[in-house]
Amino acid sequence: MADDQLVSGLRCGDGLAFETLVKRFETPLYRYFLASHGDAQLAGEQSVDCFSELVRAMPKMSGGDRQLRPFVFAVARNVLRRSWRARARPAAPLDSAEEKADPRPTPAAVAESQDEHARLIGAIRSLDPPTRDALLMHYVEQMPLAEVAAAIGEPLGTIKSRLHRGRHRLAALLQPSTPSP
* Chain-centroid distance, C-alpha 122: 27
Quick check: 164 pLDDT over 90?
yes
Quick check: 160 pLDDT over 90?
yes
Secondary structure letter of residue 100 according to DSSP: P
The full set of domains in the chain, from first to last, is 3-88 (1.10.1740.10), 108-173 (1.10.10.10)
Query: Helix axis angle, 107-126 relative to 156-173, nearest 10°?
Result: 140
Q: What is the pLDDT of residues 96-135, one digit of tens each?
A: 545 555 667 777 776 777 777 778 777 877 888 788 778 8
Q: State the pLDDT at residue 9.
A: 81
Query: Shortest CA distance to 127 belongs to which of 76, 84, 162?
Result: 162
Which residue would you say has higher pLDDT here, 140 or 162?
Answer: 162
Helix (H, G, I), strand (E, B) or coil at 10: helix
26-30, 50-54, 138-142: least confident range: 138-142
Q: What is the pLDDT of residues 136-158, one digit of tens each?
A: 778 877 778 887 787 777 899 99
* Chain-centroid distance, C-alpha 41: 24
Q: Which residue type, as a one-letter code, is found at position 180?
A: S
Q: CA 23 to CA 43: how far, in whole Å?
A: 16
* Chain-centroid distance, C-alpha 86: 11
Mean pLDDT of 153-169: 93
Is-contact 37 76, C-beta < 8 A? no
